Amino acid sequence: MSLHPRASSDVFVPDESNTRLLRDAFGRFATGVTIVTAAAENGVAAITANSFSSVSLSPPLVLWSPDKKSRRFSYFEAATHYSVHVLSADQDDLCWAVAKDVYALNDRGLHLNAEGVPVLENCLARFECTKTAVYEGGDHVIMLGQVNRAQMREEGDPLAFFKGQMGRFTTR
């Protein structure tokens, strides 16, 4: 007899017939939400991503993983520089706009950094990167970037993603 009752759970072997179930299981990991930007011929190319992670302090490295089948993939595959913006809870409208339209940021008058990448202001953090490596990762790639510059703000709650929904994580 267990002193700790087990919550109900489904055990499954991931395969091509149950990718939705695997996606739902991945969604049980709460993440922050980012917008990644790069310069494109038509202006600002932008994509939302929750597959962002810090990798190393020395050298300063981060990664993110875009889907190879995404219509936006080619912009980031071609880019040698990009910026990752960690969104605050009050930027959920911006997140949804970018999720719907690769060029949603074109009319926002964004400043360009030293490498010509459009950057968002007022995010919780921003990492301006040079792409240093790309690794195959199934239907995604893992993009590794060296952080050239970082910026952060002290105030604000993060925008969080959990079980396919966005919400607010509040700090005490």
Q: Is residue 21 part of a domain?
A: no
Name the β-bridge partners of 73.
none
Q: Give tens-digit pLDDT for 39-49.
A: 999 899 999 99
Q: Is residue 126 part of a domain?
A: yes
- pLDDT value for 144: 98
Q: Which residue has the tokens 């079980």?
A: 163
CATH number of the domain at 110, please: 2.30.110.10
In angstroms, the CA 112 to CA 64 distance is 21
Average per-residue pLDDT in the chain?
89
Q: Is residue 103 part of a domain?
A: yes
- pLDDT value for 5: 52
Count of domains observed in the chain: 1
Long-range contacts of 23-27 (CB under 8 A, 24+ apart): 24/163, 24/164, 27/161, 27/162, 27/163, 27/164
- pLDDT value for 29: 65
Q: Is residue 4 part of a domain?
A: no
| pLDDT grade for 129, boundaries at 50, 70 and 90 | very high
Q: Give tens-digit pLDDT for 79-128.
A: 999 999 999 999 989 999 999 999 999 999 899 999 999 999 999 999 99
Q: What secondary structure letter does DSSP report for 67?
A: B
In angstroms, the CA 93 to CA 146 distance is 29
In angstroms, the CA 132 to CA 151 distance is 20
- pLDDT value for 8: 59
Q: Is residue 167 part of a domain?
A: no
Q: Give tens-digit pLDDT for 27-72.
A: 776 778 999 999 999 899 999 998 999 999 999 999 999 999 999 9
Asked if residues 131 and 81 have their Cβ atoms less than 8 Å apart, the reply is: yes
**Chain center to CA of 123:** 13
- pLDDT value for 7: 57
Segments forming the whole domain that contains residue 71: 31-159
For residue 4, is pLDDT > 60? no
| The pair of three-digit structure tokens given for residue 123, joined into one six-digit string | 């995010």
| The pair of three-digit structure tokens given for residue 79, joined into one six-digit string | 């880019």
| The pair of three-digit structure tokens given for residue 72, joined into one six-digit string | 């936006």
- Looking at the chain, the whole-number percentage of residues with pLDDT higher than 70 is 91
Phi, psi angle pair for 100, to nearest 5°: -90, -25
